[in-house]
C-alpha cells in the first residue's frame, strides 16, 4: 500500500527538518496601529501591505485563530497514536470529497513533485495561502492584489460588470461588488492546473470561489474564502483568516525563477500534476 504523505507525517517531517527558514518566517504579526478602517468613496479602503498566515493545509485551525477551518465539517479520523504525535490545536477537518475528489487527493504525492516546483503560477487559492505579504491597492473602479509570492497580481473590477467570456486561467476570472462594508469577490473559469494548498487538496476547472474581505479596523482584514467545486467536493466549504497591517513593510520583488536550483539541478520535478 502506498504510504501517502498525510498531514501528520508532513508535520513530523517539518518538525524534523528545522531549517533556518522556520525561525525567520513571518511568525506572529506585531500589534498594528489602532483606529477605524479608512474609507474611499463610501466604502472601506482595503489598501495597505498585509501580513497573512501561511496556510499549507486548509483543513487546519491554528491555535491562535489566525486561520480557521470550516467549523461545520467533521473532524478527520486519525488513530490515537497519530493524535498523540500530531500538532497541538484542534484536529483537522475532513473535507466532503466526492469519489473523484477522494481519488485525486489520495493519488497526490508531493514527494513526486509539484507544479510549483518549476515556478508555474501558484493559482489564486494557493497564492492567498502563501506566507508572503500582499499589497492591496484600491480605487473607485478596481481592487488590485499584488502578491509578493512570485510577483503575481490580481485585478478585481468593482464596477458591477459580469465575468468575461475568455479562456480559463491560473488565477480565474474575478468580479467584485460591495455588500455593505464587505468586498465580495466571485471567481470562476480556472484552468484546473493548480492545487488549493501546499498539502495538495485538489480542485477542478469547475471551481467557483467566493471571497469576502472586511476591513474590521485600521489594522485588520477579516478574510473568508469559500471553495465550491462540485466535481471534487459534495458541498461548499470555507476557511477564514485574519490579515494584519504592516505599515513597516514594503512589498519586495520575488522572482521564483531566478535561481531555482532545486528544479534546475533536478533535485525535484515540477511539471503539471499527472493525476488531474
Footprint on this chain of another protein (rule: CB under 8 A):
5, 10-28, 30, 53-54, 56-57, 60, 62-64, 66, 86-89, 110-114, 116-117, 119, 122, 130-132, 148-149, 198-199, 247-249, 252, 254-256, 258-263, 265-270
Whether 74 and 65 have beta carbons less than 8 Å apart is answered as no
> What whole-number distance in Å separates Cα of residue 209 and Cα of residue 87?
29
Q: Supply φ then ψ for residue 217, to 5 degrees.
A: -160, 180
Least distance CB 171 / another protein (angstroms)? 16
Least distance CB 181 / another protein (angstroms)? 26
Least distance CB 273 / another protein (angstroms)? 13
- Measured from the CB atom, the residue of 139 and 269 that comes closer to another protein is 269
- Measured from the CB atom, the residue of 162 and 267 that comes closer to another protein is 267
Least distance CB 130 / another protein (angstroms)? 6
Whether 134 and 146 have beta carbons less than 8 Å apart is answered as yes
Question: Long-range contacts for 222-227 (Cβ within 8 Å, ≥24 apart)?
Answer: 223/52, 223/128, 225/125, 225/128, 227/58, 227/125, 227/196, 227/203
- Measured from the CB atom, the residue of 66 and 70 that comes closer to another protein is 66
- Measured from the CB atom, the residue of 126 and 238 that comes closer to another protein is 126
> What whole-number distance in Å separates Cα of residue 189 and Cα of residue 207?
7
Amino acid at each position: 500500500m502506498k504510504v501517502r504523505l498525510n498531514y501528520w507525517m508532513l508535520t513530523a517531517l517539518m518538525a524534523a527538518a528545522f531549517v533556518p527558514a522556520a525561525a525567520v518566517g513571518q511568525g506572529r504579526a506585531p500589534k498594528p496601529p489602532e483606529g477605524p478602517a479608512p474609507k474611499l468613496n463610501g466604502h472601506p479602503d482595503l489598501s495597505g501591505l498585509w501580513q497573512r498566515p501561511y496556510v499549507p493545509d486548509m483543513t487546519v485551525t491554528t491555535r491562535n485563530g489566525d486561520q480557521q477551518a470550516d467549523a461545520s465539517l467533521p473532524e478527520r479520523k486519525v488513530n490515537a497514536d497519530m493524535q498523540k504525535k500530531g500538532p497541538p490545536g484542534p484536529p483537522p477537518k475532513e473535507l466532503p470529497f466526492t469519489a473523484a475528489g477522494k481519488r485525486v487527493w489520495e493519488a497526490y504525492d508531493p514527494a513526486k513533485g509539484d507544479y510549483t516546483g518549476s515556478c508555474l503560477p501558484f493559482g489564486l487559492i494557493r497564492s492567498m495561502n502563501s506566507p508572503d505579504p500582499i499589497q492591496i491597492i484600491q480605487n473607485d473602479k478596481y481592487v488590485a492584489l499584488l502578491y509578493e509570492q512570485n510577483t503575481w497580481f490580481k485585478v478585481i473590477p468593482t464596477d458591477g460588470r459580469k465575468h468575461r467570456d475568455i479562456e480559463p486561467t491560473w488565477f480565474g476570472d474575478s468580479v467584485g461588488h460591495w455588500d455593505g462594508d464587505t468586498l465580495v469577490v466571485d471567481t470562476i473559469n480556472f484552468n484546473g492546473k493548480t492545487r488549493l494548498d501546499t498539502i495538495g487538496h485538489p480542485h477542478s476547472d469547475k471551481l467557483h470561489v467566493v471571497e469576502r474581505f472586511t476591513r474590521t479596523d485600521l489594522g485588520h482584514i477579516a478574510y473568508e474564502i469559500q471553495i465550491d467545486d462540485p466535481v471534487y467536493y459534495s458541498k461548499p466549504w470555507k476557511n477564514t483568516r485574519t490579515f494584519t497591517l504592516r505599515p513597516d513593510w514594503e512589498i519586495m520583488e520575488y522572482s521564483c525563477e531566478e535561481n531555482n536550483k532545486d528544479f534546475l539541478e533536478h533535485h525535484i520535478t515540477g511539471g503539471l500534476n499527472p493525476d488531474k
